[in-house]
Amino acid sequence: MPELLTLFVVYYGSQYLVTAVSTALFGVPLEVSPFFAGMVALGLVMASYASEVFLAAFRAIAAGQYEAGRALGLQKGKIMRLIILPQLIRLALPGLSNLWLSLMKDTALVSVITLNDLLRQTQVAVSSTRQPFFFYLVACLIYLGLSLLSSIAIGQTRRWASRGMVTR
């Protein structure tokens, strides 16, 4: 299902739902802000991808790790916190960072539901200056800069997460 479609369904669907509920409860229709709808829609998409990443990461952790934790007499919560999670972060990081990068690009879609994000402000700039190519190029470069910054941050995090690993 395309992200754009999710966005529309959440935006108009929640609008419909909230208006119906609020008129029934208070007698006044409330409005869903585009920001909230965009956040929920992208959050849902992200959640579905991230759960796949976490599932794969959990599966990649050997059962022996749990058994070793139990053999040490650790409680379930402690096994999770002390043994599984530190490994999980390292395993899930590549998938999560990919998701982060694609999420950043997907945020550009919220301009369609009239949220004043980078792309929408660019449209405003274009309509007042009539220089579409220049301004859209600048917007692209800003997105590029953002993903460059995040890949640097991801690289640092990866180094931190795999600090206990033998480097080949």
Give contact residues for other proteins (rule: CB under 8 A): 1-5, 8-9, 12-13, 16, 76, 101, 104-109, 111-112, 119, 122-123, 126, 130-134, 136-137, 139-141, 143-144, 147-148
Please state the closest distance from residue 111 (CB atom) to other proteins, in A. Answer: 7
Our CB check for other proteins shows the closer of 72 and 140 to be 140
Q: Extract the tokens encoding 84.
A: 């599984």
Our CB check for other proteins shows the closer of 46 and 126 to be 126
Four-CA torsion 13, 18, 21, 24, nearest 10 degrees: -110
Quick count: other Cβ atoms within 10 Å of Cβ 43?
A: 13
Please state the closest distance from residue 163 (CB atom) to other proteins, in A. Answer: 28
Q: Please identify which residue in the block is written with the tokens 């869903």.
A: 32
- Asked if 39 contacts 54 with a C-beta cutoff of 8 angstroms, the reply is no
Q: Extract the tokens encoding 111.
A: 């301009």
DSSP state of 132: H
Please state the closest distance from residue 96 (CB atom) to other proteins, in A. Answer: 18
Our CB check for other proteins shows the closer of 49 and 161 to be 49
- Per residue in 103-114, is it b (16+ CB within 10 Å) or e — as a string? beebbbbbbbbe
Please state the closest distance from residue 166 (CB atom) to other proteins, in A. Answer: 24
Our CB check for other proteins shows the closer of 72 and 137 to be 137
Residues in Cβ contact with 112 at an 8 Å cutoff, skipping those fewer than 6 apart: 4, 7
Please state the closest distance from residue 72 (CB atom) to other proteins, in A. Answer: 13
Our CB check for other proteins shows the closer of 6 and 87 to be 6
